[in-house]
Amino acid sequence: MNFQRRQRLIAGLATDEVDGLVISSETNVGYLTGFSGDSTTLLLTQDRVIVISDGRFSVQLDQECPDLEILIRPIGQPMPVGIGELASSLGLRRLGFESQSTTVDDFHTLAEAALGVELVATKGKVEALRTIKDADEIQTLREAIGMAEAAFLDLRAWLRPGVTEKDAADFLEAALRTHGASGASFPPIVAFGPRAALPHARPTSEGVLGNRDLVLIDWGASGRAYKSDLTRVLVTGKVAPEFESVYLAVAEAQQRAIAAIRPGVMARTIDAEARSVIEEAGFGPFFNHAVGHGIGRDVHEAPVLRSVNDSPLQAGMVLTIEPGIYLPDRGGIRIEDDVLVTDEGCEVLSKLPKSLDTISL
């Protein structure tokens, strides 16, 4: 699998008129090699695949990447110097590098060390491959979603008036580990009452859950290298009437967006489907972010489902669909599920209840 991924990149070298490509993003190195450590870079040429690392990882690399050529840098040699000297010694003329994961400092050091080699910025090559998940990746995503769902059900059973946002976030993180996750896929968002109007609220110790409060929880699990991302809203007591219509508009927007998902549909169409429902309900200005994004090894991956993205969906993509309405100082509603694009349409991978009659604690 890793082999085919590397071959696809190598096949593209000629198109970019480069004779080598440096992969410096740790996530991309893991995707292309199966290596689970860090501080390690990959150099691909037409006939060589070389992993460049340091002594801390030599045993791990032998175990995880037995089929790859491994170069262990001398102690103290900066990574860009190691790459540059290697590229020079291989006689490369034009070397591609990942502009999004190379700092300006590293670029200058690499340029100095890579004598006689022209550096060529590349962007999004591995990320484009990563948008389409294979069967094993889809299985690991299902597992990460299952862990998140099990942890949420524990939290839901425990949650009661008087606890703070931070208590709830801490409980959720522990529950994710109990259910097999290596941790949360990002620091969970737990927002009570009016703070639910902040799409990326940080849990505080001051926010105490009251008797008739909204609870917005956005969380995910890191499973075997892959991450889930979900949002649910709960309420203590009954939903306030003003938020009933908000909740129903968000739920309908999400349903319409999901119903439109199939291969060939443009990413922006999915955003437009959700947005039109929220606009018709009169809440257009309060839906202030894109409707979703890819998930995988990173919690935010390509494609972004926003109004300017013309690229077509493809079978094998796994996307979040997460419309929201945020009324400043009053509260907010977001519902987020993880959805697999299939040949015929889509499959919603996350299964937690979300109809209005299920959200009261």
Q: Identify which of residues 229 and 301 has a Cβ nearer to Zn ion in the complex.
A: 229
Cβ-based neighbours of 12, under 8 Å, separated by 6 or more: 125
Burial 177-214 (b: 16+ CB within 10 A, else e): eebebeebbbebbbbbbbbbbebebebeeebebeeebb
CB 256 to Zn ion: min, Å: 18
Q: Identify which of residues 97 and 326 has a Cβ nearer to Zn ion in the complex.
A: 326
Q: Identify which of residues 111 and 352 has a Cβ nearer to Zn ion in the complex.
A: 352
CB 112 to Zn ion: min, Å: 40
- 3-state SS string over 113-171? HCCCCEEEEECCHHHHHHCCCCHHHHHHHHHHHHHHHHHHHHHHHHCCCCCEHHHHHHH
Peptide bond into 74 cis (omega under 30): no
CB 329 to Zn ion: min, Å: 22
Q: Identify which of residues 213 and 229 has a Cβ nearer to Zn ion in the complex.
A: 229
Residue 309, SS3? coil
CB 336 to Zn ion: min, Å: 5
Residue 76, SS3? coil
CB 186 to Zn ion: min, Å: 8
Q: Identify which of residues 73 and 232 has a Cβ nearer to Zn ion in the complex.
A: 232
Q: Identify which of residues 167 and 338 has a Cβ nearer to Zn ion in the complex.
A: 338
Residue 219, SS3? strand
CB 326 to Zn ion: min, Å: 14
What backbone phi and psi angles, to 5 degrees, belong to 210? -95, -165
Q: Identify which of residues 200 and 238 has a Cβ nearer to Zn ion in the complex.
A: 200
CB 219 to Zn ion: min, Å: 7
Tokens 């993880």 identify what position?
338
Partners of 122 in beta bridges: 98
Q: Which helix (H) or strand (E) holds 276?
A: helix 267-280
Q: 100 with 24: CB under 8 angstroms?
A: no
CB 177 to Zn ion: min, Å: 19
CB 249 to Zn ion: min, Å: 19
Residues that bind Zn ion (CB under 5 A): 218, 229, 320, 336
Q: Identify which of residues 53 and 350 has a Cβ nearer to Zn ion in the complex.
A: 350
Residue 189, SS3? strand
Q: Residue length, the chain?
A: 361
DSSP state, 37?
A: -
Q: Identify which of residues 53 and 320 has a Cβ nearer to Zn ion in the complex.
A: 320
Q: Identify which of residues 60 and 255 has a Cβ nearer to Zn ion in the complex.
A: 255
The tokens for 251 are 């739920």
CB 350 to Zn ion: min, Å: 11
Q: 36 with 27: CB under 8 angstroms?
A: no
Q: 94 with 118: CB under 8 angstroms?
A: yes
